[in-house]
Amino acid sequence: MASKNSSQIIGYRYFMTMQMGLGVGPIDEIVNIKVGDKNVWPTLEGQSEPYSETVKGNGTTNIRAASVFGGEDGEGGVDGTLTVQMGAPDQIYPAWFKNMLGGDMPDFRGVVTAIFDGMICAINPYPKSWEFRVRRTEKGWQDDQVWQPTYVTIWLANSAIKAMNPAHILYEVITNKKWGRGFDKSRIADTVWLEAARTLYNEGFGLCIPWKRQQSLRDFIQEILDHIGGAIYLNRETGLIDLKLIRDDYNVGDLPLFDYNSGLLSINKSETAALTDAVSEIVVRYHDPIKNEDLQVRAQNLALMQATEGVKSSSVSYLGIPTQELAARIAQRDLKATAASANRYTVTLDRRAWRVYPGAVFRISAPDRGINNLVLRAGKVTDSTFTDGKITIEASLDVFGMPSVSFVAPEPSTWEPPLNGPSAIDAKLIREATYYDMIRTLSEANLAYVTNTSAALSTVAGRSDNQALSYIIRSRPDGGSFANHGGKGFAPYCRSVGALSYYNGTITFDSGQDLSLIESTDLIQIGDEFMGVTNITYNADGISGTMDVSRGCLDTIPQEHPHNSPIFFIDGNIASDEVEYAAGETIEVKLLSQTSAGSLDPDLAATTSLLLSGRQARPYPPGALFVVHGGGAWTPCFNAPPFTGDFQLQWTHRDRITQEDFPTGHWEANVGPEIGVTYNVRFYNSSNTLLRSITGISDNFLNFGAADTDLVGALRVEVESYRDGLASHQKYDFPLTRSL
């Protein structure tokens, strides 16, 4: 049924066709898509790395994340189709997209592009940023010829990260004729590069690093070399370009030795840093491509820290490193390298040192300087004039080497992300709508169309945790399919302390949730009983206290309730799927909580089956039912003691129409009665055999005397209202013991 507010517009869904360029193509695959830092594809719930679903070529896939920003009570989500074009040389762009833009349109060859068509958000008209996680090691090579394909891909993090061999990155930068330096492959010392590629592959040294045109190729090459600890130089003997990794891969006895008899001319300067200036800690910042965030690890020289009684720290960024394990090894490498660079030498050699290149290892001996068989690693190599023949080398003590095992643990974070995933709703009411619900939610025009057979659904739910924003009603009629009806607000609620008898007028409560939203005169529901709140007294904690209530309001009568019963404040918090049903139908209902992370999986929500009876049309039961006996003793029916002789049943009228949405309490005086209402009274014996049924009673009392000899012993009594073939939703059912 349409509610009074059903025609209100609370916002809009926003649809768009967007074209996004990802980079030079083609690429191997698209692995993951985030929008506004939320995963939208793949959308399989709970799927983790490595993803089984990726985009590896031209094609179209669906993005189904309509509630990723909180659904229509939040900022909507993303729902539509994604068309990917890898940018092949013979690519033909989709005709529908070119026709939409009109005019002469290119086919965007050589560039990876993605076209999204569908909903991008709701309520908030500002689209969120898109992020694509892509992989590229094998596609896009010049002439589709991958250099040494066996070693190009290095899988890391249990095959969740597809990294590229740095030697292959450098090879492509140097040889690619479209965007690289364009050197002919014959200029590369292939066997030397292959040896470096094998070493990096065996070390598991893969990088995930983009090159952007804002960065020069020279700087990009140096960035890669800094990551791997290597050098590129022109080999003076072969005239080819060599790649040298700085590793502990030599025998000291095989290194060239330069002394005063074999080429050492002078040691122009030597530096040894003071102990207090030595770096005792290296912090390496790296980039996790799965989380898409920068992280860090640190390596420490504990002995040096103890010797200097302090910490001298240095930090470096290697944002192409994708894993903590690799970053930790690099931190150890750089800590050793820092110690070595503290011992620097500038040596001058004659032409016999012509084979020494940047990164090469050699030995020097100078007895007059106290130096014997010192192993140095060459840095900058400078030639002089042809007539001079001197070669000047800036070098440092060699303690380089790539550790194969790291003992550096990642620095733990003290921050824990909030648990913002939706959870099942525990505190809830799923029932048929009452006449009170109809009055509160329907316009007068719509109310006029309601008949005795009309029925509707009402729900009330309490927030299960602070992350929950709203909830979705998921319902289906007999033989139908489930449909979602979203955007329902949570009701304040608390829990009773101690059991409640039929006539307790004061309730002790605690465990309150959202109690600041309630009013002192709110209508509450406990179990199947409505009560009106006349006063609330809070304790200092604001979530516990006492409330004074009027019992058995609307179409309910007083009932017993166990300890810890949920108490819902329902005024203004009754929700519906706004579907009109008929009495006799059975519907199934689920309530799905919504958070900023999305809505609860329907399979995790309990299903409630509800048989509809046309509750809203049924007359209200009578109030204040007393048993008058033994010389005029008035006893509430549920508390009547055994008695002897004459007795009277007495009650007060109630009027569904006159009361409208006013919650008249059980003990209040007559209201009405509603036109056409009579009362039925039935007596049963201890064997549950019907002794007498009295119908059509129009008064609000019924007398019994000495002639009613059948009504003796242990009896059970039922009292209900009746109109137009409809009995009240609830009836009195109480014990009575009488003797003559």
pLDDT in tens, 715-729: 999 999 999 999 999
Pick the CATH number of 252-273+342-401 from 3.30.450, 2.40.240, 2.160.20, 3.30.2010: 2.40.240
Give the highest mean pLDDT range of 21-30, 264-273, 356-365: 21-30
- Please state, in angstroms and rounded to a whole number, the distance separating the CA atoms of residues 729 and 721: 9
pLDDT score recorded for residue 170:
97
- Inform me whether the pLDDT recorded for 406 exceeds 70: no
Of the listed ranges 296-310, 371-385, 452-466, 687-701, the least confidently predicted one is: 296-310
The per-residue DSSP string of 237-300 comes to: TT-SEEEEE--S-S-GGGS-EE-TTTTEEEEEEEEE--GGGS--EEEEEEEETTTTEEEEEEEE
pTM score, whole prediction: 0.61
Phi/psi for 39 (5° steps) reads -70, 125
Q: Give percent of the chain with pLDDT exceeding 90.
A: 61
Q: Read off the amino acid at residue 348.
A: T
For 460-509, how does the pLDDT look when each residue is reduced to its tens digit (9 = 90+)? Answer: 999 877 778 889 999 999 888 898 887 788 899 999 999 999 999 999 99
- Inform me whether the pLDDT recorded for 46 exceeds 50: no
Mean pLDDT across the stretch 622-636? 90
Q: Read off the amino acid at residue 267.
A: I
Tokens of 350: 């004659």
pLDDT score recorded for residue 50:
59
For 538-595, how does the pLDDT look when each residue is reduced to its tens digit (9 = 90+)? Answer: 898 888 999 999 999 999 999 999 999 999 999 888 999 888 999 999 999 999 988 8
Task: Give the confidence band of 370 by pLDDT, cuts at 50, 70, 90.
Answer: confident
- Inform me whether the pLDDT recorded for 215 exceeds 70: yes
Task: Give the confidence band of 3 by pLDDT, cuts at 50, 70, 90.
Answer: very low
667-703 as b/e: b if 16+ CB within 10 A: ebeebbbbeebebbbbbbeeeeeeeeeeeebeebeee
For 63-110, how does the pLDDT look when each residue is reduced to its tens digit (9 = 90+)? Answer: 988 888 887 777 888 999 999 999 999 999 999 999 888 888 899 999
Domain boundaries, the chain: 13-135, 142-245, 252-273+342-401, 274-341, 428-616, 623-739
pLDDT score recorded for residue 275:
56
- Inform me whether the pLDDT recorded for 11 exceeds 80: no
Mean pLDDT across the stretch 667-686? 95
Topology of domain 623-739 in CATH is Immunoglobulin-like (2.60.40)
Of the listed ranges 319-323, 329-333, 398-402, 428-432, the least confidently predicted one is: 398-402
320 or 65: which leads in pLDDT:
320
Residue 190: closest CA among 231, 139, 241, 246: 241
pLDDT score recorded for residue 402:
45
